[in-house]
Amino acid sequence: MHLTPLQTVLGFALLGPDARIIFDAIVIALFTLAAIVIRQRRALFPVTGLLMCAAGFAFDLLATPGVAVAMGWAPWAGGVALVMASWGVIHLLLALADHFAHRTRAHFSTIFKDLLMVTLWGVILMLVLRQDFHFDLTPLLASTAIVAAVIGFALQESLGNIFSGLTLQLSKPFDPGDWVRSGNFVGRIQGIGWRSTSLLTRSNEKLEIPNSMLAKDALVNYSADVVGSDLMIGVSYAAPPNHVRAVICEALGNVPGVRQTPPPEVFTWEYADSAIRYRIRYWIADYAEVDRIHDAVATALWYVLRRKGVEIPYPQMVVARAPKPAAGLDENLERELMNELRQVDFLRDLSDAALRLLLPGVVVQKYGAGEAIVREGQEGDSLFLIRAGTVEVLAAAADGRTVHIRDLTRPAFFGEMALMTGERRIATVRAHTDAELIELGRAAFGELFKNHPETAAQMGEVIARRMSERRELLAAAPQGDGAHTRANWLLTKMRAVFNLSLPR
């Protein structure tokens, strides 16, 4: 009895006819039983592949008896048997490979597996037609090309989705399980199919986006180790921005899920009608938690800002009348400012009447951390007293480097040399933290010297003593006989600056 094509491939030449029939029957029974068991348990192998193998061996069994040869169905039954069994084996092998390649993922794309399966099936079919049926494939291939062109023209959109899916698979802009945004759609990738890509939204809705649309639109992938999330908040104009920034960072440090590396960022973003708007950027590890963490951050900010006395204003419009000119300083404020001025050594011994002449020239200024108050080399006509905060004194070295000289806090002061002599600033002073300063201008001292000429000499002596302690800052001054010469030089400078006629 002749061998069928399938038996030839399996190498059954050494088996007798009865043995080959028994083998076919056993294989059919095994594949059928396996298909039934797998269908019930949903095991690894697909039922389709098992049934195709069983069908292939069933056709091989039909082609084996002598009656099949006599009736003339042996050739086509043997060919169908080889095709069906080969297709079943290909189906099972690809399913097994796919399983081990993606067993760590819940969802994955089957587009390459399907393409490979169809290609192999086509190759097997053409080989059987050519070898077993002696079919000339040339006219078939020619007509196939024409049919393919017609089908391609008619199914442009569908083919576009297929090739877009292939492009997404090759470029790998995302993996199954990644959170992505495409246009207005946000979701977790489930897998890529022939026509579309499946996403699961945060509302647990399954979304199918055509592959061609996904390939054309901008795609945002949130699968990085940390992902940034922004929140805008409006805060009262009365709250200093650096203070608001510190309060917000403190709040973000206590919110579960907000990463501290990289640290959160707070930007002063916009001066709106009723509030200063701040843009807050914080970092999270899992984009799936973005809504929950956003809620936690917004809630924490309300409580922290409330405790710190920072107002989150309602949208409002304030109409203010111009205040009437004040007759003078409030008594308590006047006493407070006079106490502040007496912290300066060359103002300490002035009488209350003389000191009050300086009060009209007093201006309380606020500086944010990092702001330059005075700059080295610039002209200046004011003195600064520190009420709150810390400032740092910087100077340019000979090699061009900026050198930190020292930090100053309350009750220190600076700027007296530029005020009294008209010389340029000899150092840069910058706010190290938010600082509140009293600025005292040259016009106020001019009024003091005109009404109390003797104070100029007294102040000159005090400043001269300070100059003798900082000789390196007075390189331009005459090098006479010590502090007395410096006092005379300083008085000469003060006469020129304040236009005074002082006794020598």
Please give the pLDDT value at position 139: 65
What is the average pLDDT across 182-200? 83
pLDDT digits (tens, 9 = 90+) for 453-469: 777 777 777 677 666 65
Out of 182-186, 263-267, 372-376, 480-484, least confident range: 480-484
pLDDT reported for residue 1: 53
Please give the average per-residue pLDDT across 160-177, as a whole number: 72
Q: Which of the residue ranges 61-65, 97-101, 198-202 would you say has the lowest mean pLDDT?
A: 97-101
Distance (Å, whole) CA 2 – CA 68 = 11
Q: Check: CB of residue 289 under 8 Å from CB of residue 306.
A: no
DSSP 295: H
Could you tell me the domains of the chain? 5-135 (no CATH), 169-221 (2.30.30.60), 227-307 (3.30.70.100), 331-498 (2.60.120.10)
How far apart CA 371 and CA 348 sit, in angstroms, is 29
Q: If you search the block for the tokens 């960022």, which residue do you land on?
A: 265
- The per-residue pLDDT for range 419-442, each reduced to its tens digit, is 877 888 888 999 999 999 999 888
Q: Which residues contact 371 (CB under 8 A, 6 or more apart)?
A: 430, 431
pLDDT at position 391 over 70: yes
Under the banding of pLDDT at 50, 70 and 90, the label for residue 280 is very high
Token pair of 88, please? 């079943």
- Average pLDDT score over residue span 12-40: 78
Q: What is the mean pLDDT of the chain?
A: 77
Average pLDDT over residues 304-316: 88
Q: Read off the pLDDT of each residue in 230-254 and give the average, rounded to a whole number.
A: 93
pLDDT of 471 strictly over 60: no
**Predicted local distance difference test score (pLDDT) of residue 44:** 54
3-state DSSP assignment of residue 448: helix
Cα–Cα distance measured from residue 6 to residue 89, given in angstroms and rounded to the nearest whole number: 12
For residues 385 and 379, what is the distance between their CA atoms, to the nearest angstrom? 18
The per-residue pLDDT for 276 is 95
Helix then strand count (H, E) for the chain reads 17, 16
What's residue 100's pLDDT?
Answer: 67
Q: What is the pLDDT of residue 138?
A: 65
- Comparison of pLDDT for 477 and 353, the residue scoring more: 353
- Report pLDDT for 106: 43
pLDDT tens column, 101-114:
665 554 445 666 66
Tell me the percentage of the chain whose pLDDT exceeds 90: 20
With bands split at pLDDT 50, 70 and 90, how would you rate the model's confidence at 161? low
**Alpha-helical runs (H) found in 232-289:** 241-252
Instruction: Report residue 254: phi and psi, to 5°.
Output: -110, 10
Does the predicted model carry a pTM greater than 0.85?
no
- Taking residue 471's Cβ as centre, other Cβ atoms within 10 Å add up to 11
Which band of pLDDT confidence, cut at 50, 70 and 90, is reported for residue 92?
Answer: confident
User: What angle, rounded to 10 degrees, do the helices at 156-171 and 137-154 form?
Assistant: 90
State the pLDDT confidence band at 270, using cuts at 50, 70 and 90: very high
Q: How confident is the model at residue 311 (pLDDT cuts 50, 70, 90)?
A: very high
**Mapped to the 3 state alphabet, what secondary structure does 368-392 carry?**
CCCCEEECCCCCCCEEEEEEECEEE
So what's the pLDDT on residue 329?
60
Give the C-alpha distances (Å, rounded to integers) separating 451 from 118, 355, 357: 106, 11, 9
The pLDDT of 374-379, averaged and rounded, is 89
